[in-house]
Amino acid sequence: QESLKLLRASLPATLTIRQNIQSVPIVVRANATQMHQILMNLLTNAAHAVGAHSGTIEVEIRQVDITEADAASFPDLPPGAYAQISVRDTGCGMTPEIVNKIFDPYFTTKGRGTGLGLAVVHAIVKSHRGMIRAESVPGKGSVFYVCLPCSNEETAGSGAVKDANPPTGTERILFVDDESNIAEIAQSALEYLGYRVETCTDSCKALEMFQKSPDDFDLVITDMTMPGMTGDV
């Protein structure tokens, strides 16, 4: 729900987001930051697939019980209870050839960017002993499924995430990334926490901006791989 709230601010009003989240709590043992990264990546990709046209993104989270009979649909997963996250869009869809490559490192259909987004998501899911797969029909849309093994731990137990207000601040931040959607999402997230944010999608212009008024910024957050100039310059 937090990911949806942050993303909503940077999406056009023509895009409808629906959510169907199981009311009964589902417990997984996972890194919360990485789970947020998975959702933001899948939601951003879905928004790109829909584009500027009217469309819908539907997010569903529910518990599923995988049996040996489900092996064809859920390869490499042992039988058991899983939290299933699905992100469905009514966008442009993909051909089977593209679907087979989308989790490969450096593969991208956007013509720009690093092509590492879904490869990173795939690695995170695998590190949590889960599975991710995609289904798509050209011209009709796509759906991504993420399955994570359920945990028997109690939500109030040691290590559980407790309700607390997130840390906030008032500092000035320069956020640099050549992908505008990432810059927009980061700006929404950081401003939600109280920070004053300036974004830039051109690395050379960002350096010029910083050199002109270095004391105007308390922190610079930059992508490392960008056209023209890398982040560590």
What pLDDT band is residue 82 in, cutting at 50, 70 and 90?
very high
Which pLDDT does position 45 carry in this prediction?
87
The mean pLDDT value for 64-92 works out to 89
pLDDT exceeds cutoff 50 at 213: yes
pLDDT exceeds cutoff 50 at 158: no
Phi, psi of 177 (to 5 degrees): -155, 135
The mean pLDDT value for 16-31 works out to 91
Give pLDDT tens digits for 92-139: 999 999 998 888 876 666 544 444 578 889 999 999 999 999 999 999
Give pLDDT tens digits for 169-200: 999 999 999 888 788 878 888 888 899 999 99
Phi, psi of 95 (to 5 degrees): -80, 160
- Residues 61, 101 contacting (CB under 8 angstroms): no
- In angstroms, the CA 79 to CA 66 distance is 5
- Sign of the Cα torsion 177, 181, 186, 188 reads positive
Which pLDDT does position 167 carry in this prediction?
77
Which pLDDT does position 112 carry in this prediction?
45
Phi, psi of 17 (to 5 degrees): -110, 125
- In angstroms, the CA 177 to CA 202 distance is 7
Residue 78, exposed/middle/buried by CB under 10 A (0-12, 13-18, 19+)?
exposed
Residue 144, exposed/middle/buried by CB under 10 A (0-12, 13-18, 19+)?
buried
pLDDT exceeds cutoff 90 at 225: no
